[in-house]
Amino acid sequence: MDKKVRVRFAPSPTGGLHLGGVRTVLFNYLFAKQHGGDFIVRIEDTDQSRFVEGAEDYIFKTLEWCGLIPDESPQHGGPFAPYRQSERKASYKQYAEQLVTAGYAYYAFDTPEDLEKMRIDYKTAENPSPQYNYVLRSKMRNSLNLPAEEVSKLLAEGRPFVIRIKTPENETVSFTDMIRGEVSFNTSQVDDKVLLKADGMPTYHLAVVVDDYAMKITHAFRGEEWLPSAPVHLLLWKYLGWEAEMPQWAHLPLILKPEGNGKLSKRDGDRLGFPVFAMDWTDPKTGEKTIGFKERGFLPEAFVNLLALLGWNDGTDTEIFTIEQLIAAFSMDRVHKGGAKFDYEKAKWFNHEWIKKLSIDQLQLLVREQFIGNGIEVNDSNKLHKVIELVKDRCTLLNDFVQQGSFFFNSPSQFDTASIKPKWDAVKNMFFIELAKAYESSIVWESSDLEKELKELAAAHQLKPGELMLPLRIMLVGGKFGPGVFDIAAVIGKEATVERIRTVLGLLEHQ
RNA sequence: GGCCGGUUCGUCUAUCGGUUAGGACAGCCCCCUUUCACGGGGCAAAGACGGGUUCGAUUCCCGUACCGGCUACCA
């Protein structure tokens, strides 16, 4: 094998990119990069009725966010352009005609009504979905049955037609799947799939073969849902005379619903409250918005990591991988055969690990965005740095930084005074009045000094420091959470600390 | 219905015939913590079923069951 590895991801621009799609991209990308090959993105927009404005752009934005940049694509260019199938329309027809001439395909003039009638007429209890195949094609209106003159006449009249592959009876087609090993089919079970539609556009089956050949694709990875149509593709590679160039196939396992039944869909995310798409997607027709992992506060590193481990592992206990480590460790034969149920809790764990793993500088920009997005001004990057250092270990998602850290920048809008009141008395009130005064006149403003000051003052008032910590925390934070109180005081500064103590003292007095 | 694929703790998974079947998430308990988390330690938890093959099967073969995918002029 001295051919340069070339793989492709071939999405249809019909909506947001979901987990499974991104994982397919990832595995393609990892395989290509590991072998020093090329990763191509080809847009399969052969069905105009399903075309969705903005979907292609969304796909590339997603890939960019994930850091999975194509070497060739409609937006990156490349030697095999165009990379949109709608722009390669002419070539498909030529190959379809070639197949007809060679006797491997035929014209079919059946109307949608004809087809529907056939499916009803031949439907039986044992065979609820009759196929257009070697037994039924003799009963339909196609160039195999019609007299040659009539076929030419229909064609000359411009009557709508499709070209269907003539799948042979009772032949065995098999291939070696990189994940599943040898898989074989009997052609009697596969129907005469439409290759070229009445509008002159190819179906997926023809287009994928023609383009994989044209673009010199060496390895084709796609979801398991494509396994049943593999024999059609195999036949096409053979009939077109390109068998020697056929890529190696791998059919990836599906990502399933958490409760187990069926493949994961956008709806499941809406229903169960977690993202399924990589990034936010707004349907241009309905205006319906679907949340994405990015906007939910996931790091791209974590997203890629969790996707890689969904159906693959390196055989060790390692779970946290950088993209470079994934490129080095990945192997298709370690991809699982069975589908994996998606577990959002585990997904969050990956993100948590990545937040802890990244340096404060790497986090800075993202965290700043979170604060700004929530209307919190962050102009002191030195302070931001300290805040991140203090709270990063307690954040699972990026937006947790806001909950965990907004009080560093703005005074809390709510104070949980209810938690102070039961044990509040005049002695404590006096203590805090004096603490505020003492802090106000502090010269140094370091965490350890602030703690020392409080303890000394507590001793003077015959109070135990322990019973003062909670009130002080609530004064500074608003609630019962956050890092060490004195660390917080050190970061928010003298003025804010004193002000917040006095604010809560005021609240307690008036309640 | 047919065809194809799959089946190890609740979930993701390790195991390339011989293990007390390992790890991670979630759960529970303990420790740490003058808050809440993080963290540390621990507990509980699995080979779908039935036949073979073998000295020995989670691992190989067959059957059954269950789950999934496909069965469009959609991808």
Looking across all nucleic acid strands, the nucleotide with the smallest C1' to CA distance from residue A126 is: B1
A350 CA: nearest nucleotide by C1': B25
Which tens digits make up the pLDDT trace of A84-109?
999 999 999 999 999 999 999 999 99
Residue nearest to nucleotide B6 (CA to C1'): A338
Q: For A347-373, how does the pLDDT look when each residue is reduced to its tens digit (9 = 90+)?
A: 999 999 999 999 999 999 999 999 999
Nucleotide nearest residue A45, measured CA to C1': B75
For the stretch A8-48, pLDDT in tens is 999 999 999 999 999 999 999 999 999 999 999 999 999 98
Within a 10 A sphere around the Cβ of A102, how many other Cβ atoms? Answer: 12
Strand B contacted by A227 CB (< 7 A): yes
* pLDDT-derived band at A261, boundaries 50, 70, 90: confident
Q: Is the CB of A341 under 7 A from strand B?
A: yes
A263 CB less than 7 Å from any atom of strand B: yes
Tokens in use for A77?
């260019």
Cβ neighbourhood burial of A360 (10 Å; 0-12, 13-18, 19+): middle
**pLDDT at residue A283 tops 90:** yes
- Would the pLDDT of A1 be above 60? no
Whether the beta carbon of A338 falls within 7 A of nucleic chain B: the reply is yes
As a rounded value in angstroms, the CA-to-C1' distance for A186 and B63 is 22
Say what percent of chain A tops pLDDT 90. Answer: 96
pLDDT, tens only, A117-130: 999 999 998 889 99
Q: Is there contact between A315 and strand B, defined as CB under 7 Å from any strand atom?
A: yes
Task: List chain B nucleotides near protein: any atom < 7 Å from a Cβ.
Answer: 1-8, 10-15, 22-26, 34-39, 67-75
Is the C-beta atom of A452 closer than 7 angstroms to strand B?
A: no
Q: What is the mean pLDDT of chain A?
A: 95
Query: Which nucleotide C1' is nearest A255 CA?
Result: B68
Q: Parallel, antiparallel, or unpaired for β A281-282 and A289-290?
A: antiparallel
A5 has which bridge partners? none
pLDDT bracket for residue A2 (50, 70, 90):
low
Q: What is the ipTM of this complex?
A: 0.95
Q: Which nucleotide is at minimal CA–C1' distance from A129?
A: B71
Residue A390 is predicted with a pLDDT of: 96
The closest of A303, A301, A219, A274 to A1, measured between CA atoms, is A219
pLDDT for the residue numbered A27: 98
Task: State pLDDT tens for residues A393-416.
Answer: 999 999 999 999 999 999 999 999
> How long is the CA A447 to C1' B35 vector, in angstroms?
17
pLDDT band at A145 (very low <50, low <70, confident <90, very high): very high
Span CA (A20) to C1' (B6), Å: 17
Q: How far is the CA of A26 from the C1' of B20 (A)?
A: 39
pLDDT tens digits for range A448-484: 999 999 999 999 999 999 999 999 999 999 999 999 9
Going from the N-terminus, what domains does chain A have, and what CATH number goes with each?
6-83+254-344 (3.40.50.620), 85-252 (3.90.800.10), 362-402 (1.10.8), 417-510 (1.10.10.350)
Strand B contacts (CB < 7 A) among A residues 316-335?
A: 317, 319, 334
Output the pLDDT for position A381.
92
* Dihedral over alpha carbons A297, A298, A299, A303 (to 10 degrees): -170
The helix or strand, by DSSP H or E, that contains position A385, with its residue range, turns out to be helix A381-391
The answer to whether the CB of A26 falls within 8 A of the CB of A307 is: yes
Asked if A185 CB < 7 A from strand B, the reply is yes
**Which tens digits make up the pLDDT trace of A201-234?**
999 999 999 999 999 999 999 999 999 999 999 9
CA dist., res. A119 & res. A404, Å (int)? 61
**% pLDDT > 70, chain A:** 99
pLDDT tens-digit map of A288-314: 999 999 999 999 999 999 999 999 999
Active-site positions of A read: 266
**A261 CB neighbours strand B below 7 A:** yes
pLDDT value of residue A428: 95
A148-174 tens-digit pLDDT: 999 999 999 999 999 999 999 999 999
Q: Are A191 and A133 in contact (CB under 8 A)?
A: yes
* Partners of residue A233 on adjacent β-strands: none
Element (H, E) at A271: helix A266-272
Burial of A169 (0-12, 13-18, 19+ CB in 10 A): exposed
